[in-house]
Amino acid sequence: MHKKNKPITIFLFLLPALVLFIGILIWPIIASVHHSLYQYPTFSDPGEFVGFQNYIDLFNKQYDFGKAVINALILAALSVFIQLPLALGLALMLGKGIKGERFYLSVYFTPVLISAVVIGMLWEKIYNPIYGLVVKGAAALNISDVLPPEGLLGNPKTALLAVFIPTIWQYVGYHMLLMYAGIKGVSPDLREAAMLDGATDGQVNRYIIIPTIKPIIKVSIIFAITGSLKSYDLIKVFAKDAYNCSYKVPSLLLVRYAFHNAGGIASAIAVIMIIMCFGFAILINWMFKERDLYGKK
Partner 1 sequence: MAKSKAISFDPEMYSVKKTNKFVAALIYVGLVVWLLIDLFPLYYLFTFSLKSTNEITGSNVIGLPKEWLWSNYARVFTLGKKTGNPPVRQFFANGGLEKSFCNSVLVAALTIIICLIAALMATYAITRIAWRGSKTLNSIFMLGITIPMHVALYPIYVSFSKMGILKSYWSLIIPYAAFSLSMAIMVCTGFMNDIPKELDESACIDGCGTWGTFFHIIVPLMKPALATMGIYIFLQCWNEFMFASVFGDEAHYTLPVFVSNLKGSNITDWGLVGAGLVLATFPMLLVYIFMSRRIQESFMVGAVKG
Partner 2 sequence: MKKRLVSTLLAAVMVLSLVACGSNAAAPAADTSAPAADTSAADTTDTAAADTTEDAAADTAADTAADTAVSDEPVTLTMWCIATEGDSNRHAYEAAIAEMAEKYPNITLEWEAIENEAYKTKISAAMASGEGLPDIFFTWSCAFLGDFVAQDRVYCLDDVLAKYSSELPESMLGNTTYDGKHYGVPTTMNIVALFANMDLIAQAGCDKVPENYDELIKCCDDLVAAGIIPFGCAGGETWCVTEYLEPIIEKSIGADALNDIFLGRASYNNPDVAKAVDTFQEMIDKGYFDPAGASLPNDDVKANFIAGRTAFYQNGTWNCADFASNEEFLPKVKVTEFPVIDSSKSKLGQLIGGPSDTLAVTASSPNAEIAAEYAAELGKLICHYGYLDGCGLPAWIPYGDTSTINPLTQAVSEICANADSYVLFGDTAMSAVDKDPYLDAVAKVYGKELDGQGFIEELAGAIR
Residues 250-269 that bind partner 2 (CB under 8 A): 255-257, 259-262
Contacted by 286, from partner 2, partner 1, none: CB < 5 to 8 Å by type = none
Minimum CB–partner distance for residue 87 and partner 1 (Å): 11
Q: DSSP for the chain? A: --TTTHHHHHHHHHHHHHHHIIIIIIHHHHHHHHHTTB--SSSS----B-TTHHHHHHTSGGGTHHHHHHHHHHHHHHIIIIIHHHHHHHHHHHHT--TTHHHHHHHHHHHHHS-HHHHHHHHHHHH-TTT-HHHHHHHHTT-GGGS-TT-TTTSHHHHHHHHHHHHHHHTHHHHHHHHHHHHHHS-HHHHHHHHHTT--HHHHIIIIIHHHTHHHHHHHHHHHHHHHHT--HHHHHHHTTSSS-TT--HHHHHHHHHTTT-HHHHHHHHHHHHHHHHHHHHHHHHHHHHHHHHHH-
Minimum CB–partner distance for residue 233 and partner 2 (Å): 13
- Contact call for residue 283 and partner 1 (CB under 8 A): no
265 vs 273 by CB, closer to partner 1: 273
The only residue of 50, 73, 74, 112 in contact with partner 1, by rule CB under 8 A = 112
Minimum CB–partner distance for residue 170 and partner 2 (Å): 20
- Contact call for residue 53 and partner 2 (CB under 8 A): no
Select the span of 41-49, 74-82, 164-172, 183-191 touching partner 2 (CB under 8 A): 41-49
- Contact call for residue 109 and partner 1 (CB under 8 A): yes
151 vs 250 by CB, closer to partner 2: 151
Select the span of 62-70, 76-84, 145-153, 173-181 touching partner 1 (CB under 8 A): 173-181
Q: Report the distance separating Cα 255 and Cα 243, nearest Å.
A: 13
For residues 123 to 162, the per-residue mask of contacts with partner 2, x marking binding by CB under 8 A and - elsewhere, is -x--xxxx------------------xxxxxxxx--x---
Minimum CB–partner distance for residue 104 and partner 2 (Å): 34
For residues 171 to 210, the per-residue mask of contacts with partner 2, x marking binding by CB under 8 A and - elsewhere, is ----------------------------------------
